[in-house]
Structure 1
Amino acid sequence: MARYTGPVCRLCRREGLKLYLKGDKCFTDKCPVAKRNYAPGQHGQSRKKVTEYGLQLREKQKVKRFYGINESQMARYFDIADKMQGITGENLLHLLETRLDNAVYRLGFAQSRPEARQLVTHGHFIVNGHKTDIPSFKITQGDVIQVKEKSRNSEKIKSIIENHNGTQVSWVNVDLEALKGTIVAEPTRDDIDIPVEEHLIVELYSK
């Protein structure tokens, strides 16, 4: 399944909530979800009976769109989570939360996850002293994520740092002067603020 390249605001409207895929725009009156809080398309405003499968599917789609992954990646993460000790749904969210692109977003070095993924892909960050341009790279407690020296004069990076308004979670620590962040703990379910019922995803994949 190819990566979605269409208007991301349609994804928010389809899920009926803000996925925060457009950065600052999501917090303004221009947000399409605030203006048209119904699904896109000709029949978006019609009432439809939602089945049990439909609820499970929507939760899966919601998580995929929050973290910007495709179907095959989602299935692979679920397989890994299912083999881990603990609660499968929480394991799944933990795996997604510890992706490098999400960590960059949580550190406040990007205004959205899509922007974080782009910055990582373009090689603007180093992890533990090594250039890492793979968005799905798994970070762990103790890892240090730093803006690459050559990227510090980038207008994009300067703009992000100037508008930095603190970290969003307690499991990361940021040093703005050094332009680096440290993973100080493993994220728990309480740290993951996306509105999703992960048990429905487990039920879907368990069929």
Structure 2
Amino acid sequence: MNRPRPKAKRSRALGIALTPKCVKYFERRPFPPGQHGRRRRSESDYSRRLLEKQRLREQYNIREAQMKRAFAEAVRRDGKTGDNLVSLLERRLDAFVLRAGFARTIYQSRQQVVHRHFLVNGRRVDKPSYRLKPGDVVQVAPGSRDKTPFQLAAAGAWAGSGPLPGYLEAKLPELKARLIAEPPRAQVPVVCDEQLVVEFYSR
């Protein structure tokens, strides 16, 4: 999903670095953008819930309509709605590509999926919103393996941001990964208080 607003400004507005490149900008100016960004502003309950919802949505780079659909499905599932919501979003193909170390950012992973660089269980998939099931195998298509981003991925260039989550296994030299189980919230590396997101949509 393309957004005209610079990612560094969005990072400062949300209070989180959306890309590795944004980290240095965020650390240098860790306050919202604009001439009133340094002022301490009292937050209402609504604004706190809205902020958490926006944080979660931006980290997965999805539209509001997609977020609402995921929340509606999370409500229908057994268990905690917030945990269900994060698990559903984490099983998106573009999110999986990022976690497995095939891409540096969620924006790059989305572009790679749309450009038909990935196979799921041997079939080419070009929908970032494609939802994986435990046991699904994702691999880079043979014709794409020689491209520079995937050569870097095979060398582990994008895997240094943190440990691999326990719900997937990846063989980077082979450019192949598998979803082992549904992602538990405790292992999903997103910055968000999902309970506030639930309260936002339940109001």
- Contact 1:141–1:186 (Cα < 8 Å) also in 2: yes
Aligned to 2:6: 7
Which of structure 1's runs of 4+ aligned residues deviate more than 6 A? none
Whole-Å Cα distance in 1 between the matches of residues 46 and 150 of structure 2? Answer: 43
Whole-Å Cα distance in 2 between the matches of residues 165 and 87 of structure 1? Answer: 30
- Contact 1:3–1:70 (Cα < 8 Å) also in 2: no
| 1:180 aligned onto 2:176 | yes
Aligned to 2:140: 147
TM-score (norm. length: structure 2): 0.93
| 1:190 aligned onto 2:183 | no
Whole-Å Cα distance in 2 between the matches of residues 142 and 4 of structure 1? Answer: 33
- Contact 1:107–1:181 (Cα < 8 Å) also in 2: yes
Shift of 1:170: 1.1
What is the correspondence of 1:59-74 to structure 2 with a 5 Å cutoff? 59-74=52-67
Aligned to 1:40: 33
Aligned to 1:199: 195
Q: How many aligned residue pairs are there?
A: 200
- Contact 2:11–2:22 (Cα < 8 Å) also in 1: no
TM-score (norm. length: structure 1): 0.91
Say what the alpha-carbon RMSD is for the aligned residues: 1.5
Shift of 1:160: 2.7
What is the correspondence of 1:46-195 to structure 2 with a 5 Å cutoff? 46-162=39-155, 163-165=157-159, 168-195=164-191
Whole-Å Cα distance in 1 between the matches of residues 158 and 34 of structure 2? Answer: 36
Whole-Å Cα distance in 2 between the matches of residues 7 and 98 of structure 1? Answer: 27
Shift of 1:56: 0.5
Q: Which segment is superposed worse, 170-179 or 50-59?
A: 170-179
Gaps of 5+ in 2: none
Shift of 1:156: 2.1
Q: Which segment is superposed worse, 10-19 or 121-130?
A: 10-19
Q: Secondary structure at 2:139's aligned position in 1?
A: strand
- Contact 1:121–1:134 (Cα < 8 Å) also in 2: yes
Shift of 1:169: 0.6
